[in-house]
Amino acid sequence: MSDPQTLNQDLPPPLRALPPEQLEALRQFFIQGVVCPRCEWPAARQNVQPSEEDKKAFLRAVLGDGQFGKTYPLYDGKLKLGFSSLTTAQSLVLSEMGRLVPGNTPYEQSVELFRLKLLFYLTAKNDETFVPPAVDDEEVTFKQVRAEYLKRFGKWNEALLALALRTLQEFIRLEDLLMNGGLDKAFWKSAGLV
C-alpha cells in the first residue's frame, strides 16, 4: 500500500494541507461524483467488459454499415431490454435537441436529454418492439420528441423507467468501449478477429 504522504505530493499545496480525513472525503466525492459526459456513467462503477460476441457483433455492424445492438436479460430473463446504436441523423437530432431542452440548470437539461435518448436507443421490451422517431426528412422539434416520449413511456412506472435508463447507460458505455477498442489490436485479437 502506498504511503499517503507520497500520494499527496502530486496535489496542489492547498490540498496537501488538508487533514487526511478531509482529503479522503474529497477524493471519495470526486470519485463517486464524476460521470461520463456522453453516457452519464458513474466513474466509480466498474467498467463494462465486452464479451467476444459483443466485439464480433460490433465489428459486423461497423463493417456492414449497420447498427450495433444488444439485448439485456434482466431479472433472470423475465425482463429483456434491447438497444441499438444511433444513426448519424439521430445523433445529430439529439445534439441539436440538447440546445432546446428546457431546464433551470445544465444538470436538469442533461437529465431531460438523457431521458429523451431512451426514445432513440430502446428497440425492445420483452416481445414489444419500438421504432425511433423518424428524423430523415423534416426538422424534428423538441415538442414532437417530448410528445412521442410521453406516448411511449408515459404509462411506465418510475422503477421500470429508471431501470431502462440505467441499462441504457451500460449500453452506451459498452458501445464507447468497443469504438475505442478499434485501435487496440490486443482488444480485437481476444475475439479472434485479428
**What is the reported pTM?**
0.72
Of residues 48 and 88, the one with the higher pLDDT is 88
Cell of 183: 485501435
Measured CA to CA, the distance from residue 53 to residue 66 in angstroms comes to 16
Q: Which residues of 155-184 are buried (b: 16+ CB within 10 A; e: fewer)?
A: eeeeeeeebbbebbbbbbbbbebbeebeee
**Can you tell me whether residue 79 is helix, strand or coil?**
strand
Residue 46 covered by a domain: no
Is there a single domain that holds both residue 165 and residue 113? Answer: yes
pLDDT digits over 115-143, tens only?
Answer: 899 999 999 999 999 999 888 766 778 88
Measured CA to CA, the distance from residue 79 to residue 160 in angstroms comes to 10
* Domain span including residue 19: 4-33
Residue 194 covered by a domain: no
Number of domains in the chain: 2
Is there a single domain that holds both residue 82 and residue 16? Answer: no
